[in-house]
Chains A and B, each alone.
Chain A
Amino acid sequence: MQPRLVEVRRNVLKQNDVLAAALRGRFAAAGVSVISLVSSPGSGKTEFLEKTLTRLASDTRPDIRVAALVGDLATENDAARLARSRVPVRQITTGTICHLEAQMIETALEGWDLGALDLLFIENVGNMVCPSSYDLGEAMRVVLMSVTEGEDKPLKYPTIFNTADVAVITKMDLADACEFDRAAAHASIQAVRPGMKIMEVSAKSGLGMDEWLSFLKTNIGAAISASA
């Protein structure tokens, strides 16, 4: 037969997007704010998250109930580290897949009572490229870059910065040692994502962690209503 041309209009990631939208609905209904973290390997995501969880868990305001999902290719080391914060943690081992997908989040959440949570972190696989394409149903995406990575990192990976809502510069305690050019780093971020909020932290020394935690607290409610 003669080739027949048909017009279609189908998002390639439709399946993921449909699942992510359903997750977003579940999160909103349960009143839990979901924040995902993306960065390259070794930027200090797990350390940053561990300190964040520990601070939130030991906070004098125990009204924020927090948990975390952590993605990794092969090991469960990150979940073991995060478990030290004594908040509920689940590892998602992706095998050879270099990013998290909505389906993996859905599976990892089985048996969890979302209604018992206020805040859920999702730590993506360390990768600055692939996670940008996959909606996980999160209300807020935080991109991290460390001072050791080079101020032009955002220019090298514009898409991941462009899809994120907030940028966190990590390992600020090493800023002087590696002659970190703060203005250049901020300019790079603003070039690919104008108006983006930037915070500077050192999970190790605690620098900037107060600002980050207060930002989280003020945005928990807003994140829920934005995703509803």
Chain B
Amino acid sequence: MHEMSIALSIVEGASEEALRHHGSKVSAVRLQLGKLSGVVKEALLFSYDLACEGTALEGSVLNIEEVPATVFCRSCNAERTLVSIQDLSCPVCRTPTAEVLRGRELLITGLELTEEYAAATG
């Protein structure tokens, strides 16, 4: 299980982005999590609170948007959403395809900031 490492990376990345946007306290983080990212949502949520302790993200909420895996099917010439990541084939014509278009996301897409950096004390 590496979700603790991932949670720590989220905290680090979100802290940097908050600073860049002059925020000193983060109350929520929005995250895109792909089905093929290799990261388990429940384990990540479990690790997140602990990773936030003592940082500008302490007490914040992690809002996870799960991203389905999609592939490009050459036979259909179209992007198709996989039914299962155990079956990398077009759900319409059944042609196997290894061209993954989406589903590997591990992406911070938004922050909710509650304090301005200048107003922060200490």
Decide if A and B are genuine partners: yes
A interface residues, Cβ below 8 angstroms from B: 1, 3-16, 97-99, 129-130, 132-133, 155, 158-160, 162-163, 190-196
Q: Which residues of B contact A97 (CB under 8 A)?
A: 2, 5
Q: Which residues of B contact A13 (CB under 8 A)?
A: 6, 9, 106
Q: How large is the interface on B (under 10, 10 to 19, 20 to 34, 35 or more residues)?
A: 35 or more
Residue from the list A6, A190, A196 in contact with B110, Cβ < 8 A: A6
Contact A133-B86, Cβ < 8 Å, known A8-B109, A194-B96: no
Residue from the list A7, A11, A129, A196 in contact with B106, Cβ < 8 A: A11
Could you tell me the dominant secondary structure of chain A's interface residues? mixed
Residue from the list A12, A129, A190, A196 in contact with B9, Cβ < 8 A: A12
Contact A98 B23 (CB under 8 A): no
B interface residues, Cβ below 8 angstroms from A: 1-2, 5-6, 9-10, 12-14, 16-17, 21, 23, 27-28, 31, 36-39, 85-89, 96-98, 100, 106-116, 119
Contact B86 A129 (CB under 8 A): no
Complex-state Cα separation, A133 to B110, whole angstroms: 22
Contact B21 A6 (CB under 8 A): yes
Distance from A159 Cβ to chain B, minimum over Cβ atoms (Å): 4
Contact B86 A192 (CB under 8 A): yes
Contact A194 B1 (CB under 8 A): no
Contact A195 B96 (CB under 8 A): yes
Q: Which residues of B contact A158 (CB under 8 A)?
A: 36, 85-86
Distance from B41 Cβ to chain A, minimum over Cβ atoms (Å): 14
Distance from B33 Cβ to chain A, minimum over Cβ atoms (Å): 9
Q: Which residues of B contact A191 (CB under 8 A)?
A: 86-89, 96
Complex-state Cα separation, A185 to B119, whole angstroms: 60
Complex-state Cα separation, A131 to B38, whole angstroms: 9
Contact B17 A10 (CB under 8 A): yes
Q: List the B residue with the shortest CB-CB distance to A154.
A: B86
Complex-state Cα separation, A8 to B111, whole angstroms: 7
Residue from the list B5, B12, B106, B112 in contact with A4, Cβ < 8 A: B112
Contact B39 A133 (CB under 8 A): yes
Q: Which residues of A contact B39 (CB under 8 A)?
A: 133
Contact B107 A6 (CB under 8 A): no
